[in-house]
Amino acid sequence: MSVTTVKWTVADYHRIIAAGILEGRNVELIGGEIIEMAPEGESHAYSSDEAGEYLIYLLGDQAKIRQGKPIILPPSNSEPQPDIAVIQRLGQDYREHHPYPENIFWLIEYSDYTLSKDLGIKSKIYAEAGISEYWVVNLRTMELIVFREPTNEGYQSRETLTQGNINPLAFPDIAVSVARILGA
Rounded to whole angstroms, how far apart are CA atoms 164 and 161? Answer: 8
pLDDT at 181: 97
For the cut 90, the answer to whether the pLDDT of residue 1 exceeds it is no
| Average pLDDT along the chain | 94
Residue whose C-alpha is closest to residue 129's, from 111, 108, 103 = 103
Nearest to 85 by CA among 128, 102, 76, 74: 102
- pTM of the shown model: 0.94
Altogether, the residues listed in the chain come to a count of 184
Residue 86's pLDDT is what? 98
Q: What pLDDT score does 167 carry?
A: 98
- pLDDT at 38 (0 to 100): 84
Residue 3 has pLDDT above 80, yes or no: no
- Where does the pLDDT of residue 55 fall: very low under 50, low under 70, confident under 90, or very high at 90 and above? very high
User: Over 80: is that where the pLDDT of 88 sits?
Assistant: yes
Sign of CA dihedral 8, 14, 16, 22: positive
Q: How far apart are CA 178 and CA 184, in angstroms?
A: 9
Q: Write out pLDDT tens, residues 19-46.
A: 999 998 999 999 999 999 888 889 999 9
Query: In the prediction, which pLDDT does 101 show?
Result: 97
Which amino acid is it at 157? S
Residue 147 backbone dihedrals phi, psi, to 5 degrees: -105, 135
Q: In this predicted structure, what is the pLDDT of residue 159?
A: 98
**Residues 88-106: what's their mean pLDDT?**
95
Reported confidence tier of residue 13, pLDDT bands at 50, 70, 90: very high
What is the three-class DSSP state of 13?
Answer: helix
